[in-house]
Structure 1
Protein backbone atom coordinates (compact mmCIF):
# COMPACT_ATOMS: atom_id res chain seq x y z
CA UNK A 1 0.00 0.00 0.00
CA UNK A 2 1.29 3.47 -0.80
CA UNK A 3 0.28 6.71 0.81
CA UNK A 4 0.13 10.03 -1.01
CA UNK A 5 2.64 12.48 0.36
CA UNK A 6 0.81 15.55 1.70
CA UNK A 7 2.91 18.65 1.94
CA UNK A 8 2.49 20.59 5.16
CA UNK A 9 1.50 24.17 4.34
CA UNK A 10 3.30 26.84 6.39
CA UNK A 11 0.51 29.34 7.10
CA UNK A 12 3.06 32.09 7.82
CA UNK A 13 3.92 32.08 4.10
CA UNK A 14 0.28 32.89 3.39
CA UNK A 15 0.13 35.94 5.66
CA UNK A 16 0.17 39.31 3.92
CA UNK A 17 -1.12 41.03 0.82
CA UNK A 18 -1.31 39.25 -2.52
CA UNK A 19 -2.38 40.32 -5.98
CA UNK A 20 -4.13 37.62 -7.97
CA UNK A 21 -5.43 36.84 -11.43
CA UNK A 22 -7.82 34.10 -12.46
CA UNK A 23 -9.74 33.32 -15.62
CA UNK A 24 -12.56 30.98 -16.48
CA UNK A 25 -14.48 30.03 -19.60
CA UNK A 26 -18.10 29.44 -18.68
CA UNK A 27 -20.67 28.09 -21.19
CA UNK A 28 -21.13 31.20 -23.34
CA UNK A 29 -18.94 33.81 -21.67
CA UNK A 30 -15.47 34.25 -20.23
CA UNK A 31 -14.32 36.01 -17.10
CA UNK A 32 -10.98 37.37 -15.97
CA UNK A 33 -10.62 38.46 -12.35
CA UNK A 34 -7.97 40.73 -10.89
CA UNK A 35 -7.96 40.94 -7.09
CA UNK A 36 -6.05 41.99 -4.01
CA UNK A 37 -6.42 39.80 -0.94
CA UNK A 38 -4.94 40.25 2.51
CA UNK A 39 -4.48 37.02 4.48
CA UNK A 40 -4.35 38.39 8.02
CA UNK A 41 -2.93 36.52 11.02
CA UNK A 42 -6.33 36.94 12.73
CA UNK A 43 -7.96 34.78 10.02
CA UNK A 44 -9.68 37.69 8.25
CA UNK A 45 -9.20 37.92 4.49
CA UNK A 46 -10.56 41.18 3.06
CA UNK A 47 -10.51 41.35 -0.72
CA UNK A 48 -11.10 43.85 -3.53
CA UNK A 49 -11.37 43.05 -7.18
CA UNK A 50 -12.43 43.76 -10.72
CA UNK A 51 -13.93 41.07 -12.94
CA UNK A 52 -14.16 41.46 -16.71
CA UNK A 53 -16.96 39.39 -18.25
CA UNK A 54 -17.24 39.03 -22.02
CA UNK A 55 -19.09 37.07 -24.65
CA UNK A 56 -19.05 37.29 -28.46
CA UNK A 57 -20.95 40.58 -28.55
CA UNK A 58 -20.83 42.30 -25.17
CA UNK A 59 -18.87 42.81 -21.98
CA UNK A 60 -19.28 43.97 -18.38
CA UNK A 61 -17.00 45.05 -15.56
CA UNK A 62 -17.79 44.21 -11.96
CA UNK A 63 -16.00 45.97 -9.11
CA UNK A 64 -16.32 44.47 -5.64
CA UNK A 65 -15.17 44.37 -2.05
CA UNK A 66 -15.55 41.21 -0.01
CA UNK A 67 -15.00 40.02 3.53
CA UNK A 68 -14.30 36.47 4.59
CA UNK A 69 -12.28 34.38 6.99
CA UNK A 70 -9.66 31.94 5.83
CA UNK A 71 -8.48 28.65 7.27
CA UNK A 72 -6.07 25.91 6.25
CA UNK A 73 -6.89 22.21 6.41
CA UNK A 74 -4.01 20.20 5.03
CA UNK A 75 -3.36 21.67 1.58
CA UNK A 76 -6.88 23.12 1.39
CA UNK A 77 -7.46 26.85 1.61
CA UNK A 78 -10.98 27.53 2.86
CA UNK A 79 -12.79 30.87 2.60
CA UNK A 80 -15.58 30.98 5.18
CA UNK A 81 -18.50 33.43 5.48
CA UNK A 82 -17.68 35.12 2.18
CA UNK A 83 -19.78 38.25 1.84
CA UNK A 84 -19.63 40.70 -1.05
CA UNK A 85 -20.37 44.36 -0.41
CA UNK A 86 -19.84 47.64 -2.27
CA UNK A 87 -20.14 45.93 -5.64
CA UNK A 88 -21.25 47.49 -8.90
CA UNK A 89 -21.53 46.34 -12.48
CA UNK A 90 -21.45 48.63 -15.50
CA UNK A 91 -23.70 46.63 -17.86
CA UNK A 92 -27.11 45.83 -16.38
CA UNK A 93 -28.36 43.84 -19.40
CA UNK A 94 -25.31 41.54 -19.18
CA UNK A 95 -25.86 41.26 -15.41
CA UNK A 96 -29.54 40.33 -15.79
CA UNK A 97 -28.83 37.77 -18.50
CA UNK A 98 -26.13 35.94 -16.49
CA UNK A 99 -27.41 36.71 -12.93
CA UNK A 100 -23.99 37.95 -11.83
CA UNK A 101 -24.86 40.29 -8.95
CA UNK A 102 -27.82 38.11 -7.91
CA UNK A 103 -25.34 35.28 -7.29
CA UNK A 104 -23.16 37.62 -5.19
CA UNK A 105 -25.90 38.52 -2.71
CA UNK A 106 -27.11 34.97 -2.16
CA UNK A 107 -25.23 33.41 0.76
CA UNK A 108 -22.99 30.59 -0.32
CA UNK A 109 -21.23 27.93 1.69
CA UNK A 110 -17.50 27.77 2.22
CA UNK A 111 -15.29 28.04 -0.87
CA UNK A 112 -12.64 25.33 -0.76
CA UNK A 113 -9.48 25.50 -2.86
CA UNK A 114 -6.45 23.22 -3.15
CA UNK A 115 -3.11 24.98 -2.79
CA UNK A 116 -0.97 23.95 -5.74
CA UNK A 117 2.06 26.10 -4.88
CA UNK A 118 3.04 28.34 -1.97
CA UNK A 119 6.39 30.07 -1.65
CA UNK A 120 7.39 33.32 0.03
CA UNK A 121 6.22 35.29 -3.02
CA UNK A 122 4.00 32.98 -5.10
CA UNK A 123 0.62 31.39 -4.37
CA UNK A 124 -1.37 29.20 -6.76
CA UNK A 125 -4.67 27.60 -5.78
CA UNK A 126 -7.45 25.77 -7.63
CA UNK A 127 -11.18 25.71 -6.88
CA UNK A 128 -12.24 22.33 -5.43
CA UNK A 129 -15.85 22.47 -6.62
CA UNK A 130 -16.72 19.59 -8.95
CA UNK A 131 -18.75 21.96 -11.14
CA UNK A 132 -15.65 24.06 -11.81
CA UNK A 133 -12.94 21.38 -11.63
CA UNK A 134 -13.23 20.44 -15.28
CA UNK A 135 -13.08 24.13 -16.18
CA UNK A 136 -9.78 24.56 -14.34
CA UNK A 137 -10.51 27.64 -12.22
CA UNK A 138 -7.01 28.40 -10.93
CA UNK A 139 -5.90 31.54 -9.10
CA UNK A 140 -2.30 32.75 -9.48
CA UNK A 141 -1.00 35.31 -6.95
CA UNK A 142 2.17 37.14 -6.08
CA UNK A 143 3.23 39.47 -3.27
CA UNK A 144 2.54 42.72 -5.08
CA UNK A 145 -0.54 44.90 -4.94
CA UNK A 146 -2.62 45.80 -7.98
CA UNK A 147 -4.05 49.31 -8.35
CA UNK A 148 -7.74 48.45 -8.74
Structure 2
Protein backbone atom coordinates (compact mmCIF):
# COMPACT_ATOMS: atom_id res chain seq x y z
CA UNK A 1 0.00 0.00 0.00
CA UNK A 2 2.83 2.38 0.88
CA UNK A 3 4.58 1.58 -2.40
CA UNK A 4 1.50 2.45 -4.41
CA UNK A 5 1.07 5.73 -2.49
CA UNK A 6 4.77 6.55 -2.96
CA UNK A 7 4.56 5.84 -6.67
CA UNK A 8 1.43 7.97 -7.03
CA UNK A 9 2.95 10.82 -5.00
CA UNK A 10 6.17 10.72 -7.07
CA UNK A 11 4.21 10.85 -10.32
CA UNK A 12 2.14 13.77 -9.02
CA UNK A 13 5.26 15.75 -8.01
CA UNK A 14 6.92 15.07 -11.37
CA UNK A 15 3.83 16.13 -13.32
CA UNK A 16 3.40 19.30 -11.24
CA UNK A 17 7.06 20.23 -11.71
CA UNK A 18 6.83 19.83 -15.48
CA UNK A 19 3.63 21.84 -15.71
CA UNK A 20 5.17 24.62 -13.64
CA UNK A 21 8.25 24.68 -15.87
CA UNK A 22 6.18 24.69 -19.08
CA UNK A 23 4.23 27.77 -17.99
CA UNK A 24 7.21 30.02 -17.37
CA UNK A 25 7.57 32.63 -20.07
CA UNK A 26 10.81 32.56 -22.06
CA UNK A 27 13.19 35.33 -21.14
CA UNK A 28 13.57 37.84 -23.96
CA UNK A 29 17.08 38.12 -25.30
CA UNK A 30 18.54 41.55 -24.72
CA UNK A 31 19.12 43.45 -27.96
CA UNK A 32 22.56 45.07 -27.62
CA UNK A 33 22.95 48.75 -28.14
CA UNK A 34 20.83 50.84 -30.46
CA UNK A 35 21.84 51.43 -34.04
CA UNK A 36 23.94 54.37 -35.10
CA UNK A 37 24.36 56.02 -38.48
CA UNK A 38 27.53 56.50 -40.45
CA UNK A 39 27.90 58.45 -43.69
CA UNK A 40 30.74 58.07 -46.14
CA UNK A 41 31.43 59.88 -49.41
CA UNK A 42 32.01 57.33 -52.18
CA UNK A 43 33.09 57.34 -55.80
CA UNK A 44 29.84 55.61 -56.86
CA UNK A 45 27.92 57.31 -59.69
CA UNK A 46 25.12 55.12 -61.01
CA UNK A 47 22.36 52.71 -60.08
CA UNK A 48 24.68 49.76 -60.69
CA UNK A 49 27.04 51.24 -58.11
CA UNK A 50 24.11 51.75 -55.75
CA UNK A 51 23.01 48.12 -56.05
CA UNK A 52 26.55 46.81 -55.66
CA UNK A 53 27.37 48.89 -52.59
CA UNK A 54 24.07 48.33 -50.79
CA UNK A 55 24.28 44.58 -51.39
CA UNK A 56 27.88 44.39 -50.22
CA UNK A 57 27.10 46.32 -47.05
CA UNK A 58 24.17 44.01 -46.28
CA UNK A 59 26.70 41.20 -45.82
CA UNK A 60 28.76 43.17 -43.30
CA UNK A 61 28.38 42.14 -39.68
CA UNK A 62 26.26 44.59 -37.68
CA UNK A 63 24.84 46.48 -40.67
CA UNK A 64 21.10 47.02 -40.38
CA UNK A 65 20.61 49.10 -43.55
CA UNK A 66 22.68 50.82 -46.23
CA UNK A 67 21.39 53.40 -48.70
CA UNK A 68 23.41 55.19 -51.35
CA UNK A 69 22.20 58.59 -52.52
CA UNK A 70 23.56 58.52 -56.07
CA UNK A 71 23.51 62.30 -56.81
CA UNK A 72 25.51 63.17 -53.67
CA UNK A 73 27.52 59.91 -53.72
CA UNK A 74 26.92 59.56 -49.96
CA UNK A 75 26.37 56.12 -48.49
CA UNK A 76 24.38 56.15 -45.24
CA UNK A 77 24.75 53.03 -43.10
CA UNK A 78 22.69 52.13 -40.02
CA UNK A 79 24.80 49.76 -37.94
CA UNK A 80 25.19 48.28 -34.48
CA UNK A 81 28.30 49.72 -32.83
CA UNK A 82 28.75 46.58 -30.74
CA UNK A 83 29.24 44.59 -33.98
CA UNK A 84 31.22 46.93 -36.26
CA UNK A 85 32.79 50.38 -36.50
CA UNK A 86 32.99 53.25 -39.00
CA UNK A 87 36.57 52.22 -39.85
CA UNK A 88 35.44 48.68 -40.69
CA UNK A 89 32.54 50.01 -42.77
CA UNK A 90 34.86 52.34 -44.66
CA UNK A 91 37.15 49.37 -45.38
CA UNK A 92 34.14 47.38 -46.64
CA UNK A 93 33.37 50.17 -49.13
CA UNK A 94 36.98 50.08 -50.33
CA UNK A 95 36.86 46.28 -50.68
CA UNK A 96 33.80 46.71 -52.89
CA UNK A 97 35.85 48.84 -55.29
CA UNK A 98 34.87 52.37 -54.33
CA UNK A 99 36.68 55.22 -52.63
CA UNK A 100 35.57 55.86 -49.07
CA UNK A 101 35.96 59.50 -48.05
CA UNK A 102 39.62 60.27 -48.80
CA UNK A 103 40.71 56.61 -48.85
CA UNK A 104 41.23 55.02 -52.26
CA UNK A 105 39.38 51.87 -53.32
CA UNK A 106 41.11 48.50 -53.15
CA UNK A 107 42.78 48.10 -56.57
CA UNK A 108 41.75 44.51 -57.19
CA UNK A 109 38.10 45.25 -56.39
CA UNK A 110 38.19 48.45 -58.44
CA UNK A 111 39.54 46.55 -61.46
CA UNK A 112 36.55 44.18 -61.30
CA UNK A 113 34.00 47.02 -61.49
CA UNK A 114 32.11 47.53 -64.77
CA UNK A 115 33.61 50.31 -66.91
CA UNK A 116 30.67 52.62 -66.24
CA UNK A 117 31.46 52.54 -62.50
CA UNK A 118 35.17 53.36 -62.79
CA UNK A 119 36.60 56.79 -62.04
CA UNK A 120 38.07 57.01 -65.55
CA UNK A 121 34.54 57.04 -67.00
CA UNK A 122 33.46 60.36 -68.55
CA UNK A 123 30.77 60.88 -65.89
CA UNK A 124 33.52 61.01 -63.23
CA UNK A 125 35.82 63.29 -65.18
CA UNK A 126 33.07 65.73 -66.21
CA UNK A 127 33.12 64.73 -69.87
CA UNK A 128 29.73 63.00 -69.80
CA UNK A 129 27.60 66.07 -69.13
TM-score, normalising length: structure 1: 0.24
TM-score, normalising length: structure 2: 0.27
Q: Give the structure with the larger strand fraction.
A: 1
Q: Give the structure with the larger helix fraction.
A: 2
State which structure, 1 or 2, has the greater radius of gyration over its C-alpha atoms: 2
